[in-house]
Structure 1
Amino acid sequence: MTSVALAVTDGMLHFELGIAHEVFGSAPDAVTVPWYDLSVCGPGPVPFGPFRLEPDHGLDRLPDADTVIVPGWADVDTAPPAALVDAVRAAHAAGARVVSLCTGAFVLAAAGLLDGRRATTHWAHTDVLAARHPAVEVDPDVLYVDGGSVLTSAGKAAALDLCLHLVRLDHGSSIANTVARRLVVPPHRSGGQAQFVTAPVPEQDGHPLTALFPWAVERLDRPLTVEDLARRAGMSSRHLTRHFRAATGTTPLQWLLAQRIRRAQELLERTDDSVDAIATATGMGTATTLRRHFNRTLGVPPDSYRRTFRTRTGRAGAVAP
C-alpha cells in the first residue's frame, strides 16, 4: 500500500483532510522506510476555509491508488456528488483499499461499498446512516471498523486512530508509534473502543489513573490482576473498574490485554526472540496463551505476523536509532 489518494470535493470537512495529509504526507525524521506517495484528487479547485485547494489530479485518478481516503462529508442531508461516488466505486472495483473518515462513510454507502458490511461514522449521524442505507450494519459504539478492503471511522479523533491503524497495518506497530509520538497522541486505541466516553485517557494531574497507566505498562511481564491495579491506585476493584470504563471505554483486564498484544507486536517486529520468550516478556505466561490471544485479536498467529511484517519491511530495522 504505497500510494494514497485523498478524494476531495466542495463540502468536505477540513479537519479530517488535514489529519490524513499530516499522517500520510511525510514520514517522521526517525522513519527510514519508503513512505506513502500522497496525492490529492478532486474535480477542480475546492474551497478550503479562506483558501482554495488545488488538487494534484482529477477524480479519475482514484483507481490508480493503492488506498483512497474520503474525508468527512459536511452536510449529511445532502447527497454527495455523483462524480465522487462513481470515482470511489471505481477505485474499489480496481482493487484499492477505500477508507472513510467520519461522515465520509455516507460517500462509501452511496457507492454501495458498505452494503452487507459493518461500518461506523460519527455517533451523531449513525441513525441517519442506518435509516438511509438499511443494507449497512451500522455500529454506533466503536471508533473504527476494519473490513479489510473497506474501512470506516467515527469522528475527529477516531479518524486519526484509523489513520494510525493503517500505518500499523502497512509498517508495523513501532513505526505507527513513532508517528503517534510526532503527533503527540496515544499510539493505539483499538477500533472496538467506545466512541463516547465521559473522559479521554487521563493525562491531567490529579486524575486517579494518571500514574497507573505508565506503572502498568512498565510491568507487563508480570501477572497483573485487577486487584494489583486497584491496590496501586488506592481504591477498590469496583471503583477502579468504574474509573477505567469512564476513561478508556473498556475494562482493566481488556486494557491490559491490549497493551500485552501491542508489546508482543513490537517484539515480533524488532527482535528475533522466540514466541516463548515474548510470551514471558508480555506476561502471557506461555506461547500457547500468547498464540490464542494474538490470533483472536489480530486474526493471525505470532509467527505469521512476524513473517508478514518482515516480508513487507525487509527486516525490523525500519526505525533509525
Structure 2
Amino acid sequence: MENNHIMMNQKLLEKSHDLQKQKLEVFDILREALIVSFKNFNFIIFIFLASLPFFGFMVYYETFLQRTFVEASHILKHPPSYSTYNWPLPEFLVKTVTKDFFHELVQLSFLYLVPLHLFELCTVIVTVDLASRIYAEETPMTLKEMIHKPIYGARLRGTFVTSFYVLFLSTCTLLGLIWLATNYYVIFANSVVDVLFAVSYGVAFVVLLTKFLEWSAMWNMSIVISTLEGLYGVEAFVLSAYFSKGIGRRGLLLMLVFFVWGLSLRLPCLYFGCYEGGRGIVAQICLFCLGNALKWVVCTVYFYDCKKRILEKKVDEEVGRDIDAIDA
C-alpha cells in the first residue's frame, strides 16, 4: 500500500511536470514562429500574395509619413519668440504650424485609420488563420488547401469589430506618446534648459511606451481570439486579459522585439532620405512586411501557449486535489 501510494504521487507529479515543460518562453515562441513560417514553403507564397495590397499601400504611406516627420522636425526647430515657458507646445504650435502642414496631418491620419488599417487587417486574418492550422495540425498544406478552406463571414465581422476596438485604444495611446515625444523634442531642439520638464517627459514616455507594448500583446491576442475562436469585442478582450494574466512581461518582450525591428528600419531611412524615392523605401517596406507577418505568427503561437498554460493550471489544481485525497 505504501509503495502504491508513492508511485501514484510520482505519476501525478510527472504529469504536472510534463505540462510545465510545455510552457514556452520568449525565445521559444520566436523559434516556434520561425518554424511555422518557414517549414511550409506554400505558406510563404500564400502570405506573400495576400500581403501585396498591404505592401503597395505601405510604400506610399511610409513615404508620406517620413516626409511629414522631416517637415515636422524643421517646424519644431524654429526658434521661438521666447526662451522659457512652463508648457511649451500649445502656443508654440499655434505660431509655427502652417495650414498646409495641418492638412497633411489630417490626410496622414485618415490614411492610417482607414485604408492602412483595412489592408493590414486582411493580411492579419489570413496570416493568423493559416499559421494556426499549420501550428495546431503540424502537417504541411498545399496551396489548394489554403485557398479552399474559407474563413467564415461571422468571424470576419467579429474580427473587424475587435480590430476597431484595438485601433481606438492603440491610437489614443500613440497620441499620448507623440505628445510626450514632441514636448521632449521641443525642449532640446530649441535649447530650452528645463531639466525638470525634460526628465518628466522622458520618464512618462518610457512608462507609457512600456505599458503600450504590454497592452499591445493583449490587444493582438484579442484579434487572434476573434479570428480563431469566434469571440469578438468585449468578450475577446476579457478572454485575452484572462490568458495574459501573470505573463504580461513575456508579451511585452515579444512586442518589444518587433518595435525595435520597425524602429531600426525606419530611422536609417529617415537619416539617408529614402523617402525621396528609390529602392531604399521599397527594401524597408519589404523587411517591415516580413516582420509584420512574423509578428502575427508569434501572436498565434503566444495564444496557443497561453491556452496550454491555463490547462496546466487546471491540471495542477486537479493533481493537488488527487494527492490530498490519496494522502487522506
TM-score of the pair, normalised by structure 2: 0.24
Q: Which has the higher contact order (CA 8 A, sep 6+)?
A: 2
State which structure, 1 or 2, has the greater radius of gyration over its C-alpha atoms.
2
More helix per residue: 1 or 2?
Answer: 2
TM-score of the pair, normalised by structure 1: 0.25
More strand per residue: 1 or 2?
Answer: 1
